[in-house]
Chain A
Amino acid sequence: MVGMEVSGTSARVTAREAGLVACRACARVWPAETERCGRCGARLVSRDTASLQKVWAWWIAGLVCYIPANLYPMLVTETLVQSSSNTIVGGAVEIAHHGAYGIAAIILIASVLIPVGKFMAIAFLAISARRGSHVPPTRRQHVYEIVEFIGRWSMIDVFVVAILSALVQLSSVASITPGPAALTFALSVVFTMLSAQSFDSRLIWDRARKNRRDDTQ
């Protein structure tokens, strides 16, 4: 790993403190009053002040969709002998009964643990960005990166439903159709992704800096 020359001094300066505004799309800096990045065309905001409102709006939308996603069936399976519909948790339990504990665990992690963990993590980040937190900013930055990385993987359940519905169409012998939860679950994943993307991670660091300065005075 190669470190970077840090302007000669140990006191680190942020773009904002230097009277500049940074482009989050391409990392170029501009004078503070610039509105659009002259390099990539992205809109520039020194700190996205509406960030937290947007985070909460998408967060609530995501949660509202996540509840029916757990109550309604994800899949409706019809075979010669029976017709059954499975919710997310119900489906995982059934798979576990067949002995495929690994797959049951993957489904539970991807569609229950990760979404719930994401809701909690985003709420924690948004609250601590406003009120401050004892959790060091490095740790919180990590939480944010994990949320961003992992969020998309929750879509796996929706894709499984799509694949199965397309594949298992053997007239009367066996057929699978998607249930209403597939839609609300997909919406919930998309809304939480938007919620995480709306969060301006620079807020984590501003707060920590301000606290440190208050402490030393």
Chain B
Amino acid sequence: MTDAAASLDTDDPRAGRTALGHPLEELIACPSCDALYVAQMPPVGGRAVCDRCHTVLISPKRKAGMRIIALTVAVLILVVSAMFFPFLDIHRLGLGNSASILDAATAFETGPMALLGLATAAVIVVVPLVRMLLILYVLTPVVFDRPPARHARRAFRWSQELKPWSMAEIFAIGCAVALVKVADLAQIGFGPAFWMFSVLVVIVLFNDNYLCTWSVWKSLERPRE
């Protein structure tokens, strides 16, 4: 998305007003402190930082789009397959049991606890999956130099709003804690899904680091054909 700073068509009737001597579409306001700047694309790999509150405003990365797509596809595969493999297994006195992610989400069975189960499933599986699908939907046309997909802007905004509610990585750390908690009660082993989730955690962290939202917004300004 290095071409994201390319000039954009302004057939928007509300455009045309100016501030700081620039048309509005060339400005950027810090979302944290409202400071107004003339948006200037830093060189690839650099960052433009709000000099009042130090929020990172723009941070274009080399081949970011392609990398994000690759990582996102990897996450999709991992989450889906991790659902069907056991996560942890347990043995004691000849008895054994193993739990998958779905088992964990459905552990809260009765009454109001079932709601908690639904919420758990949502934040560890559904929300991460939906976020990944939205990001793929938005970025794929952009990366392959096509006009943005239908409703791409709304999809991208949703993907950003869902970010705090995507908790797969917290769940993975929770497993490690669970392991220690019952270490004296029984023997516990990690199933294949645990390792898949561990990889996933690392990818998710990298992925969010690559994503420069300003660059994406810029590229979504291209009119659809």
Instruction: Say yes or no: is B35 at the interface (Cβ < 8 Å to chain A).
Output: yes
**List of B residues within 8 angstroms of A28 by Cβ:** 24-25, 28-29, 217
With the chains together, A183 CA to B213 CA distance in Å? 35
What number of residue pairs across chains A and B have CB atoms under 8 A from each other? Answer: 259
Q: Find out whether the CB atom of A15 lies under 8 angstroms from the CB atom of B29.
A: yes
**List of A residues within 8 angstroms of B119 by Cβ:** 186, 190
Q: Is the interface of A mostly helix, strand, loop or mixed?
A: mixed
Chain B 82-108 interface mask (CB, 8 Å, partner A; 1/0): 000001111011011111000111111
| Given contact pairs A4-B48, A155-B123, A159-B124, A164 touches B97 in the complex (Cβ within 8 A) | no
Instruction: Say yes or no: is B67 at the interface (Cβ < 8 Å to chain A).
Output: no
**List of B residues within 8 angstroms of A40 by Cβ:** 153-154, 156-157, 217
Q: Which of A17, A162, A174, A206 contacts B104 (CB 8 A)?
A: A162
Q: Find out whether the CB atom of B30 lies under 8 angstroms from the CB atom of A27.
A: yes
Q: Find out whether the CB atom of A95 lies under 8 angstroms from the CB atom of B33.
A: no
Instruction: Say yes or no: is A205 at the interface (Cβ < 8 Å to chain B).
Output: yes
**List of B residues within 8 angstroms of A135 by Cβ:** none
Interface-located stretch among B70-78, B129-137, B139-147, B173-181? B173-181
Q: Find out whether the CB atom of B35 lies under 8 angstroms from the CB atom of A12.
A: yes
**List of A residues within 8 angstroms of B156 by Cβ:** 40
Q: Find out whether the CB atom of A162 lies under 8 angstroms from the CB atom of B14.
A: no
List residues of B whose CB falls within 8 A of some A CB. Answer: 12, 14, 17, 19-21, 24-25, 27-40, 42-43, 46-54, 57-58, 87-90, 92-93, 95-99, 103-108, 112-113, 115-117, 119-120, 123-124, 153-154, 156-157, 160-161, 164-165, 167, 170-171, 173-175, 177-178, 180-186, 188, 213-214, 217, 220-221
9 smallest CB-CB distances across A and B, nearest first, come from A22-B29, A159-B174, A2-B46, A165-B107, A166-B103, A2-B42, A166-B99, A166-B107, A15-B29
